[in-house]
C-alpha cells in the first residue's frame, strides 16, 4: 500500500484547493503511517462529560461582533462545501447549486461589503457521482472544486471492489475531492486493521484527489470510538476527517468536533502533518458556523481556518449567512426569500 | 481594518458588554445612604465612607457609607426585633419570598453580572454564566427548604440573629450561599459584604425591599475588618457565618470562644488537582484552566497544586503551556476575556511577593507572552515548576493565577502529597479508571472532591472544608443545619462547677481484695502515667476508694499518636464496627452489676439509679452499634449529568472530656457514636469518678477493639483538655465541663480549627436535644461531597 508509507520524506507537496485568490502556505500531504495499535491505546482516554463542558463553555468564552463578525461569516462561506445529497437530485438541481456557488452573494451585498475583486465563493460543491459532469461543466474556471461522495455513500456497505471502482470512476469524471464513508461496523467491532486497510486503499484509489474520510460519528456509539477511528483514518492517509454523512440521526456536534480536533492535534504533534477537518450535517445557521470556527481557532489555531484544512458540509447555511451579512450592511433583519435559493 | 483585512486576520476583536445600565443604576443611587437597616437606607452615624473601585480601570465607582458600632448595634437590634415574627412566619410564606427573590434576581440578571464585573474585575462570562445563575439557583432551591422545614427538620428552629461576613471573590454568590439558608430557616440577618465589592449586595437589598422581605429581617452594613470584628463581637448575635481567610477565621473562633455563638467558617485552601496517566489529558488541561485560572485564581477551592503522574508529566506540562498561551488577559467586560484584573492593587502586590519568594526557594515560574493592559491590577497566569513540597508556592494559599506543579510516582504518593497541607477544601481527580478515582477520593482530606471535573457547585450539594479550610457546610441539608438549632429542652439547665481533685477524708480501708492499680489505657495497653503520679479517688463521703494514674500532656501526646495510628478501626467496615460495639455492649452487660455497684460506691447513687445508668450506657452502645452501618450519606442529583456522593466520613481523632454527672453514661454517650462512625478517641473521664472508666479497660480488651481506637487518660480536665484543644493532630473535641474549660478549649481549638463542641458550662441531658445519639452521630462525621460526572 503506497499510501501508508511511514516515511514523511516521500510526501509530496499537494496543493489543495483555495477559494478565491488567497495564497496559503502549501501543505505537505499526509503520507499516513503504519497502523500503530499502541498509539491507539494511548488516545483511548476520552471523557464525555469534560468534553461536553469544554464545548459548551468554549463558545461562551469567545464572541465576534461587528465588522469582525461579517469577516468571519465570509470566511465561513469560503470554507463551505456546498452540498446536495438527496435521492431526488437532478441535473437541474445541481446546476442551480453550482450557479449559487459561483455567485453566492447578492451583487449589492458584495458592493456594500467592499469586497471589490475578491472572489469569495464556497470551496467546493459536493454531489453524488452522476452529477459530476454537470458540476464540472458549470463550475469550469470558477475555482470552485468538485467533491463526490463515494464508497457506497452513506452506508459504505458495498463490496470493497465496487467501492474502489466508484472512487476511480468519480476521479475520472472530474472530482478532485472524494468524500468516502467508512464501514461503521469495523469501528464497533474494533477491526482496526481492516478499517486501516480499506481507508489506505481508498487513498490509493484517489490518486491526487483529495481524500475526506467520513466517520459517521452518529453511528459510532462513543467519543472514544470517534477518537480511535479518527486516528486510524489519519494513519491510513486521510487528507481530511469528516464527521457525518448528514444521514445519521445525530449530525456534527461540537463535542464530536472537539474530539476530532484533538485527534488532529495529536497526529500533528506526532508526525508533523496537518490533517483537515470537515463537520457536516445540521450546521444551518450563521451562529452555529461561528461556533465551529471558534472551536477550530481555539483548539487547532488560525492556520486551520483555510479551505485546505477546514470545510463545512452544508447547504442551507449559505442562505443564513447571506441574511446575516445583509443585516450587517443594512442594520435591519433580512428574510430568506430575498436571497437566491440554493 | 476593512472587512477583507479582517477576513485574513481572523481575530476576535473586542466584544464589550455594555455597562450603560449599570452606570445608570450607580448614578441613580444615593450611596451616602447605603446602609440597609431595619428596612431603611441609612447614612453612617459616624459620617464615614469608603470608595469602591473598578480594578480594571481604577476608577472609583461609588462612595459607600461605612457602618459605625452604633450602626451595627442598630442593625443587630433590628434583626433581633424582627426575629420572633419572622421565625413564626409560615414556611410557605418564607418560601414564596425566597422564590420571589430568586425570580427577581433572574429578571435583573445582567445588571447583577455587569455590576459584579465592574466592582470585582471578574470576566463578564463568569459573572454572567456562573456567579449570577448559581446565586439565583440557591434562592429557588432554598424556597423548598423553607416550606418543608418542620417536616424535614423536626424539633428544630432557626438559630436566631445571624452575622454573615462575605468575601470579595464571589460577592453575590457568597451572599446567596449565606442569605438563602438563613431566610429559609427563619433567621434574621446582618450581612457585611467585603469592602472591595459592596455593590451587588446593595442591589440585592433593593430587591429584598421590592419583594417585601419584612423590615429588619435582612440588614446590610458596610466596612472593613474593624466593622467585621464589631459584628463578630456583638453580644446580640446567635450565629456567625464567615467566608474568608483562615487567619481571620481563626481569630473569629478565638473571639467567639465561650459565647455560645454558632459558627461556620469557609476558609482558605490549597487544593490538589491530581492527574493520573490514564486521564483524558486534553480534558484535564481544560479542567485545570477552570480550576486555577477561574476568577484569576481568587477562589478558595482553586486547584492550585497540580500533581501529575511522572509518566506523563513532561507532555502534560507542555500541553498546559500551550493552553496558557491562548488565555486572554484584559478588560473583564469584554466577552473574550479569560482573565481579568485581581480585585485590588494590594492583592497584586501580595501575589507578586509570593511568586518572587517561591522563585527564591527554587521554583521556576513561566508565563505566556501575553500583553497586559497598561493600568489595572492584572497578573499574568503563572506555571511554577521545580516546586518542592516545602516551597511557599506549595504551602501557602496564593489566591492568584499561580499554579504549582509537582509529580508523583504512584497512587499512594499522590494521596500523600495531596494531603500534605494544613488545608482540606477541595480536590480534583482525573482518571478514566473509575476504580482508581473512587479509591482515591475517600482518601483525600477534602470536603469536596471532583472526579474528572473541577469547580462544580450546586445548591443541593454541601460545600465546605476539612482541617484549616474551616467547618460547617453550605448548601443542601447539611447547609441548612448550620442555621438551625434544637428547640430548647424543657428541663432546667444545670450549670457545671469546676471540678478539682478530692482530698480524702478517710483512709483507704483494706478489703479482702488484692490491691489494684488503675492505669491509663493507650494504644490497647494499660500503661502507667508518664509523670509517675497518682491521684486519689474517693467516695461520696470522702472515703478513699482507690488511686488513679495522673495523666499529663505527655500521656495525651502518646494517646493521640495511638489514636492516629488506629487505621484498622477507621478502615473497618460499618458492619465490622457494629459487631465489635455489640460485643462491647454484651461484655458490659455481663458485668453490669459490678458497674452498678461501682457507681454506688463512687457517686453514691441509689441502687436503682446506678442500675439505670449502667443499663442506659449499655443501651447507648447497642444503639450506636446499630447505626454503625446505617448512618450513611446520600446521593445528590445536581442539575448536570453527574451524581454527587455525600459521604459521611469519620472526623478522625476525637478528644472527649466527660463530666462528673452520670460519669459512665456521659462517657459512653460520647464514646459510642464516635466509635460507631470510625473515629478513634482519646477520652478524659471525670477525674472524681475515674475508676468507673478504668474498670472499662477489661471490657474494651475483651471486645476485639483494635489498639488505639479508644484511649483513656485519667486526670484533671482543666489540665488535660487544653492539651487536647491545642494538639494539631486532634480533629475534633467534645467537652462537657464548666464554663471556664469550655471557653478555654474553644479558644485554643482555633490553632488547627478542629471541630469543637462544648456544653457551654452546662450539664447535658443524654436523651435531650444536645445529648441524643442522633446529635452525636452528626458530630462524628464530616460530609464529603464527591462529584462523579458520567456518560460515555
What's the pLDDT score for residue A229?
A: 98
Report yes or no on A16 lying in a domain: no
Residue with cell 502549501: A26
Identical fold between B272-464 and B520-789: no
- Contact between A74 and B7 using a beta-carbon 8 Å cutoff: yes
Residue B266 among the catalytic residues: yes
Report yes or no on A53 lying in a domain: yes
ipTM of this predicted structure: 0.93
pTM of full prediction above 0.90: yes
Work out the percent of chain B whose per-residue pLDDT is above 70: 99
Options A100, A242, A274, A308, the catalytic residue? A242
- Contact between A46 and B2 using a beta-carbon 8 Å cutoff: no
Residue with cell 481544560: B286
- Domain count along chain A: 1
**B20-267 CATH fold:** Aldehyde Dehydrogenase; Chain A, domain 1 (3.40.605)
On the question of a cis peptide bond just before residue A154, with omega within 30 degrees of 0, the verdict is: yes
Chain B: residue whose CA lies nearest to A62: B336
pLDDT at B321 over 60: yes
Range of the domain at A228: 35-338
Report yes or no on A56 lying in a domain: yes
What's the pLDDT score for residue B512?
A: 62
CA-closest candidate to residue B179, choices B65, B97, B122:
B97
pLDDT band at A3 (very low <50, low <70, confident <90, very high): very low
- Contact between A49 and B432 using a beta-carbon 8 Å cutoff: no
Chain segment B177-216, per-residue pLDDT in tens: 999 999 999 999 999 999 999 999 999 999 999 999 999 9
Instruction: Write the CATH number for A172.
Output: 3.20.20.70
CA-closest candidate to residue A281, choices A102, A85, A123:
A85
What's the pLDDT score for residue A200?
A: 98
- Contact between A67 and B4 using a beta-carbon 8 Å cutoff: no
Average pLDDT value over all residues in chain A: 93
Average pLDDT over residues B447-468: 97
pLDDT at A106 over 60: yes
pLDDT at A23 over 50: no
What's the pLDDT score for residue A14?
A: 42
DSSP for residue B441: G
Chain segment B329-356, per-residue pLDDT in tens: 999 999 999 999 999 999 999 999 999 9
CA-closest candidate to residue B464, choices B663, B263, B687:
B263
pLDDT at A24 over 60: no
pLDDT band at A8 (very low <50, low <70, confident <90, very high): very low
Coarse DSSP helix, strand, coil percentages of chain B, rounded to the nearest 5 percent: 45, 20, 40
Chain segment B647-701, per-residue pLDDT in tens: 999 999 999 999 999 999 999 999 999 999 999 999 999 999 999 999 999 999 9
Nearest-neighbour CA in chain B from A65: distance (Å): 6
Cell of B180: 438563602
Chain segment A110-153, per-residue pLDDT in tens: 999 999 888 999 999 999 999 999 999 999 999 999 999 999 99
pLDDT at A2 over 60: no
pLDDT band at A21 (very low <50, low <70, confident <90, very high): very low
Q: Where in chain B are the domains?
A: 20-267, 272-464, 520-789
CA torsion, points B523, B525, B528, B531, in degrees to nearest 10? -10
DSSP for residue A336: G
B383 phi and psi, to 5 degrees?
-115, 115
- Taking contacts as CB-CB distances below 8 angstroms, the residues of chain A near B791 are 48-49, 52
Cell of A7: 516515511
Q: What span, in angstroms and rounded, lies between the C-alpha atoms of A90 and A69?
A: 35
Chain segment B50-73, per-residue pLDDT in tens: 999 999 999 999 999 999 999 999
Alpha helices (H) along B630-780? 663-676, 690-694, 696-701, 717-726, 739-748, 773-780
- Residue B430: partners with Cβ closer than 8 Å, 6 or more residues away: B273, B274, B275, B276, B279, B280, B283, B284, B287, B437, B451, B452
Per-position b or e across A74-103, b if 16+ CB within 10 A of its CB: bbbbbbbbbbbbeeeeeeebbbbbbebbbe
- Contact between B280 and A46 using a beta-carbon 8 Å cutoff: yes
What's the pLDDT score for residue A13?
A: 40
Report yes or no on A239 lying in a domain: yes
Report yes or no on A205 lying in a domain: yes
Hey, which CATH number is domain B272-464, 3.40.309.10, 3.30.200.20, 3.40.50.620, 3.90.340.10? 3.40.309.10
Chain B: residue whose CA lies nearest to A71: B7
| Structural contact between residues B73 and B234, judged by C-beta atoms closer than 8 angstroms | yes
Report yes or no on A225 lying in a domain: yes
Residue A100 among the catalytic residues: no
B520-789 has which CATH code?
3.40.605.10
Amino acid at each position: 500500500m503506497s499510501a501508508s508509507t511511514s516515511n514523511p520524506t516521500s510526501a509530496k507537496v499537494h496543493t489543495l484547493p483555495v477559494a478565491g485568490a488567497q495564497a496559503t502556505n502549501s501543505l505537505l500531504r499526509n503520507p499516513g503511517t503504519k497502523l500503530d495499535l499502541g498509539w491507539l491505546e494511548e488516545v483511548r482516554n476520552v471523557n464525555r462529560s469534560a468534553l461536553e463542558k469544554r464545548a459548551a463553555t468554549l463558545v461562551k468564552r469567545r464572541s465576534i461582533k461587528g465588522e469582525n463578525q461579517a469577516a468571519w461569516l465570509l470566511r465561513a462561506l469560503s470554507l463551505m462545501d456546498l452540498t446536495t445529497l438527496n435521492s431526488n437530485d437532478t441535473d437541474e438541481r445541481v446546476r442551480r447549486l453550482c450557479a449559487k456557488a459561483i455567485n453566492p452573494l447578492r451583487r449589492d451585498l458584495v458592493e456594500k461589503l467592499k469586497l471589490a475583486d475578491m472572489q469569495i465563493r464556497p470551496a467546493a460543491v459536493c454531489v453524488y457521482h452522476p452529477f459530476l459532469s454537470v458540476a464540472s461543466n458549470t463550475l469550469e474556471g470558477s475555482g470552485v472544486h468538485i467533491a463526490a461522495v463515494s464508497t457506497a455513500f452513506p452506508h459504505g456497505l458495498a463490496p470493497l471492489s465496487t467501492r474502489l471502482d466508484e472512487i476511480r470512476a468519480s476521479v475520472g469524471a472530474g472530482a478532485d475531492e472524494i468524500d468516502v464513508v467508512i464501514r461503521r461496523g469495523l469501528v464497533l467491532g474494533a477491526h482496526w486493521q481492516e478499517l486501516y486497510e480499506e481507508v489506505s486503499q481508498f487513498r490509493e484509489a484517489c490518486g491526487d484527489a483529495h481524500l475526506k474520510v467520513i466517520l459517521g460519528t452518529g453511528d459510532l456509539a462513543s467519543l472514544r470510538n470517534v477518537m480511535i477511528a479518527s486516528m486510524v483514518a489519519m494513519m491510513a492517509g486521510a487528507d481530511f476527517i469528516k464527521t457525518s454523512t448528514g444521514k445519521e440521526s445525530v449530525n456534527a456536534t461540537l463535542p464530536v468536533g472537539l474530539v476530532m480536533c484533538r485527534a488532529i492535534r495529536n497526529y500533528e504533534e506526532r508526525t508533523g502533518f496537518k490533517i483537515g477537518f470537515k463537520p457536516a450535517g445540521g450546521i444551518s445557521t450563521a451562529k452555529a458556523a461561528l461556533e465551529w470556527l471558534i472551536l477550530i481557532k481555539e483548539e487547532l489555531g488560525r492556520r486551520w481556518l483555510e479551505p485546505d484544512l477546514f470545510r463545512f458540509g452544508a447547504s442551507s447555511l449559505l442562505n443564513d449567512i447571506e441574511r446575516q451579512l445583509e443585516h450587517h450592511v443594512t442594520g435591519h433583519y433580512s428574510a430568506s426569500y430575498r436571497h437566491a435559493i440554493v | 481594518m476593512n472587512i477583507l483585512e479582517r477576513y485574513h486576520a481572523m481575530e476576535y476583536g473586542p466584544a464589550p458588554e455594555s455597562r450603560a445600565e449599570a452606570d445608570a443604576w450607580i448614578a441613580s443611587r444615593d450611596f451616602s445612604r447605603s446602609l440597609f437597616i431595619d428596612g431603611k437606607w441609612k447614612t453612617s452615624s459616624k459620617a464615614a465612607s469608603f470608595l469602591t473601585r473598578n480594578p480594571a480601570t481604577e476608577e472609583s465607582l461609588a462612595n459607600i457609607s461605612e457602618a459605625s458600632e452604633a450602626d451595627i448595634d442598630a442593625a443587630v437590634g433590628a434583626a433581633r426585633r424582627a426575629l420572633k415574627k419572622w421565625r413564626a412566619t409560615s414556611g410557605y410564606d418564607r418560601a414564596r419570598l425566597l422564590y420571589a427573590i430568586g425570580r427577581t434576581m433572574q429578571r435583573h440578571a445582567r445588571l447583577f453580572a455587569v455590576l459584579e464585573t465592574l466592582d470585582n474585575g471578574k470576566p463578564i462570562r463568569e459573572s454572567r454564566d456562573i456567579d449570577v445563575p448559581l446565586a439565583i439557583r440557591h434562592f429557588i432551591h432554598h424556597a423548598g427548604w423553607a416550606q418543608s422545614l418542620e417536616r424535614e427538620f423536626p424539633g428544630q428552629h432557626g438559630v436566631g440573629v445571624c452575622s454573615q461576613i462575605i468575601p470579595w471573590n464571589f460577592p453575590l454568590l457568597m451572599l446567596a450561599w449565606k442569605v438563602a439558608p438563613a431566610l429559609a430557616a427563619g433567621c434574621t440577618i446582618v450581612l457585611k459584604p467585603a469592602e472591595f465589592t459592596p455593590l451587588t449586595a446593595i442591589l440585592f437589598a433593593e430587591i429584598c425591599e421590592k419583594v417585601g422581605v419584612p423590615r429588619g429581617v435582612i440588614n446590610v452594613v458596610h466596612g472593613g475588618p474593624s466593622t467585621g470584628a464589631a459584628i463578630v463581637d456583638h453580644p446580640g448575635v446567635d450565629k456567625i457565618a464567615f467566608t474568608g481567610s483562615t487567619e481571620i477565621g481563626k481569630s473569629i473562633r478565638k473571639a467567639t470562644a465561650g459565647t455560645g455563638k454558632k459558627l461556620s467558617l469557609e476558609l482558605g485552601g490549597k487544593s490538589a488537582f491530581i492527574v493520573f496517566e490514564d486521564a483524558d489529558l486534553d480534558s484535564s488541561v481544560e479542567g485545570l484552566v477552570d480550576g486555577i485560572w477561574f476568577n484569576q485564581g481568587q477562589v478558595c477551592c482553586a486547584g492550585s497544586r497540580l500533581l501529575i503522574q511522572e509518566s506523563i508529566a513532561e507532555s502534560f506540562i507542555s500541553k498546559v503551556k500551550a493552553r496558557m498561551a491562548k488565555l486572554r488577559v484584559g478588560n473583564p467586560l469584554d466577552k473574550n476575556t479569560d482573565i481579568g484584573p485581581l480585585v485590588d492593587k494590594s492583592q497584586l502586590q501580595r501575589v507578586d511577593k509570593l511568586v518572587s519568594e517561591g522563585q527564591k526557594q527554587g521554583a521556576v515560574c513561566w508565563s505566556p507572552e501575553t500583553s497586559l493592559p497598561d493600568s489595572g491590577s492584572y497578573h499574568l497566569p503563572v506555571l511554577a515548576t521545580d516546586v518542592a513540597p516545602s516551597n511557599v508556592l506549595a504551602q501557602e494559599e496564593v489566591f492568584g493565577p499561580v499554579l504549582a506543579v509537582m509529580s508523583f510516582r504512584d497512587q499512594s504518593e499522590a494521596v500523600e502529597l495531596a494531603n500534605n497541607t494544613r488545608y482540606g477544601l477541595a480536590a480534583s481527580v482525573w482518571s478514566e479508571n473509575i476504580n482508581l478515582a473512587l479509591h482515591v477520593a475517600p482518601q483525600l482530606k477534602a470536603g469536596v472532591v471532583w472526579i474528572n471535573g473541577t469547580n462544580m457547585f450546586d445548591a443541593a450539594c454541601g460545600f465546605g472544608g476539612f482541617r484549616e479550610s474551616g467547618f460547617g457546610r453550605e448548601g443542601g441539608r447539611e447547609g441548612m443545619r448550620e442555621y438551625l438549632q434544637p428547640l430548647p429542652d424543657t428541663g432546667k439547665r444545670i450549670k457545671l462547677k469546676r471540678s478539682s481533685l478530692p482530698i480524702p477524708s478517710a483512709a483507704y480501708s483494706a478489703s479482702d481484695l488484692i490491691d489494684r492499680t488503675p492505669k491509663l489505657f493507650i494504644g490497647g495497653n494499660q500503661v502507667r502515667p508518664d509523670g509517675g503520679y497518682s491521684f486519689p479517688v474517693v467516695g461520696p463521703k470522702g472515703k478513699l476508694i482507690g488511686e488513679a494514674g495522673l495523666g499529663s500532656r505527655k500521656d495525651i501526646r502518646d494517646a493521640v499518636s495511638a489514636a492516629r495510628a488506629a487505621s484498622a478501626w477507621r478502615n473497618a467496615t460499618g458492619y465490622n464496627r457494629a459487631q465489635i460495639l455489640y460485643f462491647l455492649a454484651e461484655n458490659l452487660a455481663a458485668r453490669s452489676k459490678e458497674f452498678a455497684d461501682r457507681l454506688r460506691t463512687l457517686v453514691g447513687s441509689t441502687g436503682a439509679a446506678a442500675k439505670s445508668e449502667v443499663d442506659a450506657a449499655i443501651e447507648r452502645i447497642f444503639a450506636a452499634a446499630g447505626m454503625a452501618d446505617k448512618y450513611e450519606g446520600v446521593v445528590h442529583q445536581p442539575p448536570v449529568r453527574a451524581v454527587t456522593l455525600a459521604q459521611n466520613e469519620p472526623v478522625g481523632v476525637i478528644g472527649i472530656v466527660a463530666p462528673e454527672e452520670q460519669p459512665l453514661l456521659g462517657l459512653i454517650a460520647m464514646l459510642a457514636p464516635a466509635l460507631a462512625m470510625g473515629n478513634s478517641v482519646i477520652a478524659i473521664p471525670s477525674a472524681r469518678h475515674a475508676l468507673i472508666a478504668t474498670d472499662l479497660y477489661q471490657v474494651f480488651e475483651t471486645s476485639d477493639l483494635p489498639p488505639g481506637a479508644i484511649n483513656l487518660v485519667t486526670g484533671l480536665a482543666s489540665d488535660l483538655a487544653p492539651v487536647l484543644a491545642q494538639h494539631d493532630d486532634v480533629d475534633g473535641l467534645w467537652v462537657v465541663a464548666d464554663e471556664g474549660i469550655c471557653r478555654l478549649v474553644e479558644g485554643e481549638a482555633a490553632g488547627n480549627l478542629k471541630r469543637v463542641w462544648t456544653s457551654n458550662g452546662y450539664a447535658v441531658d443524654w436523651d435531650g436535644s444536645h445529648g441524643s445519639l442522633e446529635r452525636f452521630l452528626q458530630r462524628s462525621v464530616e460530609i464529603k461531597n464527591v462529584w462523579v460526572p458520567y456518560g460515555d
